Amino acid sequence: MQAEYDFIIVGAGSAGCVLANRLSEDETASVLLVEAGPRDRSWQLSMPAALAYPLRSNRFNWGYTTEPQEHLNNRRLYWPRGRVLGGSSSINGMVWVRGHPWDFDNWYAQGMDGWAYCQVLPYFKRLEKWSEGADAYRGGDGLVGVLRGNYPNPLFDAYVEAGRQAGYPVSADFNGRQFEGFGRFDMNIWQGRRQSSSQTYLEPARKRPNLTVMTETFVSRVMIEKGKATGIQCVQGRNEMTVSAAREVILCGGAINSPQVLMLSGVGPAAALHKHSIRVEADLPGVGGNLQDHLNTSVKYGCTQPVTLYGADRFPKNILIGLQYFLSRTGAGATMHTEAGCFIKAMPGADIPDIQHHFIPILVYDNGRKPADQHGFQCHVCPVRPESRGAVALASGDPTVAPVIQPNCMSTDRDLAMMIECIKVTREGLHQPAMEPFLGPELFPGPGVKSDAEILDYVRQSAVTCYHPSGTCKMGNDDMAVVDDQLKVRGIDNLRVIDASVMPELVSGNTNAAIMMMAELSADRILGQMPEAPIDVAIDGYEPIRAAGLRETKELETVS
């Protein structure tokens, strides 16, 4: 442990581990990575099929709970977030989806230079070691092993074929030319192991003498002097310590923890900071605001054939699955079983897909905390561009007290209408000939739930997080922006935020791949390296911004 490092990275999650690797490649730079949680040595984290264990425990998980949600029958939602090396990439569902190219072009159109799809595509490619081989869209020699779903459960193929029969496209690659359609997901799984940011980026760098990793170390605040971040205060066990940063402090704690640390450090809405007797270093009203998340509900069916995962977590099936996995890294333990899904248009006039499915060959209740009671399968359905916005706020000036999380789920008429349409579209898609050999009775919402009001009642009592909180330290140029397009905190020198919190708008899909991309791109900027050259590619149904058009004003139509 040194008294000073060039770079201090707070949070060893999807972004933090990438940055620790890339910044420590500069042998002249000393790097400290600080993580509140433990090391990621448990089989529960490396075994893909075991993902429910860390999601429902508090060993590797902050286990946050939201405020009561007015539009969800005043329920408090369970919000698990990773508290371990790898962060949420060590406990998530391992679906590897970048988002729609429009998402990044939209950031660029709002004034965020460097974030157009043609500019971020090289960094997505840099991440990947894709099982199908490199091409214009995909990477082949990156650090993250990405596997196309190939588990031989007949329900996956039946689901995709049912989508085609319902009139939707079939996508050969959601991360390639065609985002829209039904198909098999990619998974950040390689040789039967979860490819978290810790396993892929941090482990190869751990032996570098210029990289120090501190686990079970809680950062209480960033030290700021005369408008400049100078280091951190942290606690490890009973030891309180101060560590200085010669060049930068980089917050990578995620959409909940990064705004909390900023506010504890005096960066945030002045009135809220005064309430907790915190000295204001920079009055940034947007810190903690703009909270977004993908909210999802599920349509559940019984299955008429014993091809689901029912009983896989019970004796003796769990023993047999475990033996095969630990002996050969194969079988039912080597996948997360969310291998199929879709991105389709639901609302009239939609220009690009507006809902996502995650198809699972088992019934899941309460974030996996309640076991399935019969053979069945389900579609998790969620709108991918929600309008609802919430906030993260301090509950106390005590750093150990969890912040107040108020996502304001389903607080707009459009979000309500979208969820109703999600249920209708999903039912239509599953009631196709390809699913007939497996389709049992509809368990939830249930055949008696037909009218919009009845569907909405079901959504209000069943909707849960899709684990994608974002936006609480948004980049931008407006009064609510917290960071600029270089991800530097406004008004404070030598301080950046690099994680999901800086997304001005949530990407259309799972967030892990996009966060890792943002860290790869940002590492080049921090080290003063030339950015990767933009790559122009064709996208079915959408015309992305071209490299030749960069830095020119380009208006994007608002997507329905």
- What are the tens digits of pLDDT across the range 109-138? 999 999 999 999 999 999 999 999 999 999
User: Residue 241: exposed, middle, or buried by beta-carbon count in 10 A (0-12, 13-18, 19+)?
Assistant: middle
Q: Are 86 and 196 in contact (CB under 8 A)?
A: yes
Residue range(s) in the chain whose domain bears CATH number 3.50.50.60: 1-69+79-144+190-288+469-560
Instruction: Specify the pLDDT at position 371.
Output: 79
Per-residue pLDDT of the chain (560 residues; tens, 9 = 90+): 799 999 999 999 999 999 999 999 999 999 999 999 999 999 999 999 999 999 888 899 999 999 999 999 999 999 999 999 999 999 999 999 999 999 999 999 999 999 999 999 999 999 999 999 999 999 999 999 999 999 999 999 999 999 999 999 999 999 999 999 999 999 999 999 999 999 999 999 999 999 999 999 999 999 999 999 999 999 999 999 999 999 999 999 999 999 999 999 999 999 999 999 999 999 999 999 999 999 999 999 999 999 999 999 889 999 999 999 999 999 999 999 999 999 999 998 899 999 999 999 999 887 677 778 999 999 999 999 999 999 999 999 999 999 999 999 999 999 999 999 999 999 999 999 999 999 999 999 999 999 999 999 999 999 999 999 999 999 999 999 999 999 999 999 999 999 999 999 999 999 999 999 999 999 999 999 999 999 999 999 999 999 999 975 444 444 43
Instruction: Specify the pLDDT at position 473.
Output: 99
Chain centroid offset of residue 316 CA:
34
What gap in Å lies between CA 265 and CA 253, rounded to an integer? 14
User: Residue 481: exposed, middle, or buried by beta-carbon count in 10 A (0-12, 13-18, 19+)?
Assistant: buried
Instruction: Specify the pLDDT at position 1.
Output: 75
Instruction: Specify the pLDDT at position 554.
Output: 44
Instruction: Specify the pLDDT at position 56.
Output: 85
Q: Are 503 and 474 in contact (CB under 8 A)?
A: yes
- Is 294 annotated as catalytic? no
Instruction: Look at the pTM and tell me if it is higher than 0.95.
Output: yes
Q: Which is it for strands 464-465 and 295-303: parallel, antiparallel or unpaired? A: antiparallel
Please state which architecture CATH assigns to domain 1-69+79-144+190-288+469-560.
Answer: 3-Layer(bba) Sandwich (3.50)
Residue range(s) in the chain whose domain bears CATH number 3.30.410.40: 150-184+295-383+411-462
Phi-psi category of residue 226: left, alpha or beta, with phi > 0 → left and psi -120 to 50 → alpha: left
For 150-184+295-383+411-462, CATH number out of 1.20.1070.10, 3.40.190.10, 2.60.120.200, 3.30.410.40 equals 3.30.410.40
Q: What are phi and psi of 27, to 5 degrees?
A: -65, -15
Q: CA torsion 59→60→62→66, rounded to 10°?
A: -100
Q: What is the pLDDT of residues 62-96, one digit of tens each?
A: 999 999 999 999 999 999 999 999 999 999 999 99
Catalytic option among 358, 375, 380, 468: 468
**Would you mind telling me the total number of residues written for the chain in this entry?**
560
Residue 215: HSE in the Cβ half-sphere, 13 Å Cα cutoff:
16
Instruction: Specify the pLDDT at position 552.
Output: 59
